[in-house]
């Protein structure tokens, strides 16, 4: 039996910090999760607890090494409408197909960590930048932000396994980075 999943961990793509200023400028105004999450694109969330990671690092590396590096472009702001009427605004990473292939490679290692693929449209890679209380506000905000947005590009050289504690110390941290250059510990959680 595979270990449980937890919302305290994820496998993500994190843009390089040099690209963060315009993203964070928007998130600081509109994203209620700006404190907890760094700018990121979820690939697997929820994910396995940290005690399961040692057995997953090499299998993940084997699956994703042939797919990296590649370049992502963030040029378009889109939004999801939720049943509640609220909306989430997000940057649409391109090429979507490359991100989909990467996410499927990760799923081959942990097939039950498919929560981000279970939506009506399947897996939609996105970098969340804010929320709006209703569709009208969302559409207006999306248009305003899009008119001001300058496209960004960055190279994806690795995926990151991130973790957090329970509140109040619930800010996500990078535990491991996995890419063609190997498996690197960053801030592994104590186990």
- Can you list the domains of the chain with their CATH numbers? 9-185 (3.90.1140.10)
φ, ψ (nearest 5 deg) of residue 64: -95, -20
Q: To 5 degrees, how large is the angle CA 18–CA 21–CA 27?
A: 135
Give the pair of three-digit tokens for residue 76.
């378009």
pLDDT tens over the chain, length 191 residues: 457 999 999 999 999 999 999 999 999 999 999 999 999 999 999 999 999 999 999 999 999 999 999 999 999 999 999 999 999 999 999 999 999 999 999 999 999 999 999 988 899 999 999 999 999 999 999 999 999 999 999 999 999 999 999 999 999 999 999 999 999 999 988 76
What is the C-alpha separation between 22 and 182, in angstroms, rounded?
30
pLDDT for the residue numbered 191: 66
Nearest CA to 31 out of 90, 78, 72, 108 is that of: 90
Q: Which two tokens stand for residue 27?
A: 């998130």
Residue-level pLDDT at 2:
58
Cβ-contact 18, 3 below 8 angstroms: no
Query: CA 11 to CA 123: how far, in whole Å?
Result: 14
pLDDT per residue as tens digits for the range 153-163: 999 999 999 99
Distance CA(118)–CA(99), nearest Å, equals 16
Residue from 100, 95, 81, 66 nearest 142 by CA: 81
Q: State the pLDDT at residue 120.
A: 82
pLDDT given at position 121: 86
C-alpha to C-alpha distance for 104 and 98, rounded to whole angstroms: 10
Single pTM value for the model: 0.96
Helix (H, G, I), strand (E, B) or coil at 37: coil
């Amino acid at each position: 039996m595979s270990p449980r999943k937890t919302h305290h961990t994820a496998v993500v793509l994190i843009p390089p910090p040099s690209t963060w200023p315009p993203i964070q400028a928007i998130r600081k105004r509109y994203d209620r999760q700006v404190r907890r999450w760094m700018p990121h694109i979820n690939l697997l969330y929820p994910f396995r607890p940290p005690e399961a990671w040692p057995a997953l690092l090499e299998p993940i590396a084997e699956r994703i090494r042939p797919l990296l590096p590649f370049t992502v472009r963030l040029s378009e702001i889109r939004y999801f409408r939720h049943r509640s009427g609220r909306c989430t605004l997000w940057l649409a990473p391109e090429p979507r197909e490359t991100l989909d292939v990467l996410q499927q490679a990760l799923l081959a290692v942990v097939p039950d960590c498919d929560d981000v693929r279970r939506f009506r449209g399947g897996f939609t890679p996105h970098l969340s930048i804010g929320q709006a209380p209703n569709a009208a506000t969302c559409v207006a905000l999306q248009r305003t932000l899009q008119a001001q947005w300058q496209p960004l590009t960055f190279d994806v050289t690795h995926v990151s396994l991130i973790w957090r504690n329970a509140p109040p110390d619930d800010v996500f941290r990078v535990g491991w980075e996995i890419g063609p250059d190997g498996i690197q510990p960053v801030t592994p959680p104590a186990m």
